[in-house]
Chains A and B, each alone.
Chain A
Amino acid sequence: MTSSMILSITTFIYGLAVVFYAASLSFKRELPAKAATVITWGAVLMNLGGILLRWYESHQMGYGHAPLTNLYESMIFFAFAIGVVYLGLEIKFRTRALGAAAVLMAFIALAYASLGPNMNQEIQPLIPALQSNWLTAHVITCFLGYAAFAIAFGISIVYLLVDGNSSENGNSNGATPGLLPSPEVLDELIYQTVVFGFFFLSIGIITGAVWANSAWGRYWGWDPKETWSLITWFIYATLLHVRLIRNWTGKRIAWFAIIGFAAVLFTYFGVNLLPGLHSY
């Protein structure tokens, strides 16, 4: 059993969890959601197992580096981070209603890693500049941030759907369909996940700067990836300011979180179209 195989199977388990979460919402039953939680735990553990196995495989090949160094490996970690952050959110806020949206993101990430075009699944040796613990810290914190932003994006979509529906019925703060929390709670959840993501993105950018300083003798170089992560940080910082000071809530914040996530995606994928130092 190779790590790639385990991770391909994990993709389907995430998919199964999404199906159960969605079933819970459409049949308005708690039970499928409870099952989905168990399935998600299983998928997250298996995802972790795949990452650890890949690490072991890299040792076997004589490279011995944490599997966080190319696009494929980062996608796998991204899926894992989404799973972990989502389960944390489920425990903290005691709602299973957002599993369909959140775990779907983990499913997409892992499916893209397993099936995406130009996805190089080979374990590659590390060039010297990438051999650094700061890099490991940088990748882990950035992706925890990205994972939170992905979930905030998912909840924002749900918010826009729910909010549109309930205002049609002429009641915007009352009952919501099925098990979904009220728009106010969704709004609060978007804000909380963005805050969590912002905290980790900040640490991610900072550890990246420290790493760049040790590898290249400069903490900031306006490399396109650096620049885009800063742009992302600015967008979320703006979101937080309008929320905290101008009391923006609801739709506007949801749209902001969607734009922010678009910036995340561009930082992640789009920048590869531009020249730069990052390997993914």
Chain B
Amino acid sequence: MVRNDTAPKKGFLMPVWQLFVSVRLTVLVLLAIAVAAAIGTVIPQNQTDLFYRMNFSDTSYRIFSALDLFDLYHSLWFQALILVLAINIVACSIDRLRIVWKIVFPGTISFSPGAFTEKNTTDPVTVHAAPETLKEPFQKELKKHCRTTRLEETTDGFYLFGEKGRLSRLGVYVVHFSVLLLLCGTLASSITGFEGTVKIPEGEKARTINLKDTGTEKPLDFVIRCDDFEVSFYDSGSPKKFRSTLSIIENGEVALTKDILVNKPLHYKGISIFQSTYGAASVKSATLSFTSKKSGMVYRKTLSFGQSVELPENLGTFTLNRLADRYMFREQHDLGQTLIGTIKKGGNIQTVALPLRFDKFDKMRQNAGTVITIDNISRTYYTGLQVRRDPGVPIVYASFILMIVGIYITFFMSHQRFCIHARALEGHTAVTVAARANKNRIAARKKAASISRTLSQITS
């Protein structure tokens, strides 16, 4: 490829321009970004300060932290590298486009047989007819392959030129433009967007979200209500599907009600709400088994909080009081979420602790007439939502489409030119077909050969 160095700038801008139109810079910056990005996968990003102090020595902590390696992808120097890449693309594209534009949109289309090389010319075939009679059928044949064709007479025959795919030369610029558009999209995302999370228990509402970057609360212009939440599990216990039914309430009225799933977010006025996690908000009710120590009989009861049940065999009255978030066993071990209840028998009140994680815990209780075990827990869930406003998304998606189209044009289409030379030879015509292409010359040569084969079968 011929480099045509015609920089438009004069004076001191010249060296700057020269720097930015060089592919050396492209290669350097691309590889630098690759190396930087790789470093960011080795050093964990955006952890707490404590984490880094614990995992790195003092010196490396200080060096890494000075170089912003703990938040590398958002560091100034990383963004500067991307900026250099962007300027490089713009500069190169301008530089190249001025030349390519003239090829793609020439004022008058001109062909010259001299531009075709011998190497890319087929061996002559003989067609048993005079050149004059072949002009029309040849042109018809060439038109099948090329949009533009042109005939030029010579003393003993004619040249027939054709070309196709001139516009494909612009494919690279579509790709480069898409890269720039992509960067614009990510910029729009980071400047005007926000991202936060919110947990809403079933049946409740939320108006604010916790911003991811700063941890501060941000009020929304509307209220999100979680009408319902449902989760189903595989036999292995891992979640199969979770779904929230959400209502958007604006100015006191329900504006929208929709089910969302992981992969199926809800969009409302530029804000997207994604299903991201879920968890148990609290326990609705518990099914307990009461085993009488005397008779061995088992009595099952389902209770919600505050409910009492009279136990048979005169064992007393059990009341399920509340759910404790933690329960210290022997003042040492936190057994986690625990149901707290009481058994009242005569004037005697005994407290019962039933840790959710240890369903046989109550066997250890002293002076007990019954052993209480947890059979089943019915929970209410909260739904964990990710709330995001990202005006960059449409721009980014547009750049995606452009990039795919551009790469396809760049690599799988080419600007091909053909030159058929017909020359009178002892009453017949000797025909050669030459090809030129800006890339994939093998394909162009093959096509020339195939055209030559077809032409040789034409008899006036």
A residues neighboring B (CB under 8 Å): 63, 124-125, 127-129, 131-132, 134, 188, 195, 198-199, 202-203, 206, 209-211, 213-220, 222, 224, 227-228, 230-231, 234-235, 237-238, 241-242, 244-247, 271, 274-275
Contacts and interface: CB of A to CB of B under 8 A. Distances in A.
B255 to A, nearest CB: 21
Contacts of A216: 274, 276, 386
A245 B176 CA distance: 15
Contact of B33 (A131, A234, A242, A274): A234
Contact of A227 (B40, B276, B400): B40
A199 B407 contact: yes
B272 interface: yes
21 contacts: A125-B234, A125-B236, A128-B239, A128-B261, A198-B411, A202-B403, A211-B263, A214-B264, A214-B265, A217-B265, A217-B272, A218-B390, A219-B396, A224-B41, A227-B40, A230-B37, A231-B37, A231-B38, A235-B34, A238-B31, A241-B26
Interface in B78-99: none
Contact of A222 (B73, B238, B240, B386): B73
A198 B407 contact: yes
Interface in B1-45: 1, 23, 26-27, 30-31, 33-34, 37-38, 40-42, 44-45
Given A234-B30, A247-B1, A218 B388 contact: yes
A132 B263 contact: yes
B350 to A, nearest CB: 44
Interface of B: 1, 23, 26-27, 30-31, 33-34, 37-38, 40-42, 44-45, 73, 186, 195, 234, 236, 238-242, 261-265, 272, 274-276, 386, 388, 390, 393, 396-397, 400, 403-404, 407-408, 411-412, 439, 442
Contacts of B23: 241-242, 245-246
A26 B91 CA distance: 52
Contacts of B73: 222
A165 B251 CA distance: 80
A128 B238 CA distance: 10
B388 A206 contact: no
Contacts of B403: 202, 206
B274 A217 contact: yes
Given A128-B239, A214-B263, 12 more contacts: A63-B234, A128-B261, A206-B403, A210-B400, A214-B264, A214-B265, A222-B45, A230-B37, A234-B33, A234-B34, A241-B26, A242-B27
A241 B1 CA distance: 12
A82 B403 CA distance: 25
A125 B393 contact: no
B41 A227 contact: yes
A217 to B, nearest CB: 4
B262 A128 contact: yes
Contacts of B408: 199
Nearest to B440: A192
A271 B38 CA distance: 10
A179 B26 CA distance: 39
A125 B30 contact: no
Given A128-B239, A199-B411, A231 B396 contact: no
B420 to A, nearest CB: 25
Q: A132, A210, A238 — which one has the most chain B CB atoms within 10 A of its CB?
A: A238
Given A228-B41, A234-B30, A242-B27, A125 B404 contact: no
A221 B1 CA distance: 38
A220 to B, nearest CB: 7
B368 to A, nearest CB: 42
User: Chain A binding site: helix, strand, loop or mixed by DSSP?
Assistant: helix
6 residue pairs, one from A and one from B, having the closest CB atoms: A128-B262, A224-B41, A125-B234, A217-B274, A234-B34, A231-B34
A229 B276 CA distance: 24
Contacts of A227: 37-38, 40-41
A186 B421 CA distance: 32
A195 B442 CA distance: 15
Contacts of A275: 44
A128 B263 contact: yes
Contacts of B33: 234
A203 B264 CA distance: 22
Contacts of B41: 224, 227-228, 271, 274
Contact of A237 (B30, B264, B275): B30
A244 B1 contact: yes
Nearest to A215: B263
Contacts of A235: 31, 34
B404 A202 contact: yes
A77 to B, nearest CB: 21
B241 to A, nearest CB: 6
B239 A213 contact: no
A38 to B, nearest CB: 26
A274 B362 CA distance: 43
Contact of B404 (A206, A209, A247): A206
A181 to B, nearest CB: 12
Contacts of B275: 128
Contacts of B240: 125, 128
A220 B396 CA distance: 11
Contacts of A274: 41-42
A209 B40 contact: no
Nearest to A219: B396
Contacts of A213: 393
A116 B268 CA distance: 48
Q: A203, A215, A230, A241 — which one has the most chain B CB atoms within 10 A of its CB?
A: A215
A202 B274 CA distance: 26
Contacts of B386: 216-217
B404 A128 contact: no
Q: B34, B236, B386, B408 — which one has the most chain A CB atoms within 10 A of its CB?
A: B34
A95 B26 CA distance: 35
Contact of A131 (B26, B44, B238, B262): B262
A219 B44 CA distance: 20
B190 to A, nearest CB: 11
B421 to A, nearest CB: 27
Contacts of B274: 215-217
A129 B408 CA distance: 30
A128 B272 contact: no
Nearest to A247: B1
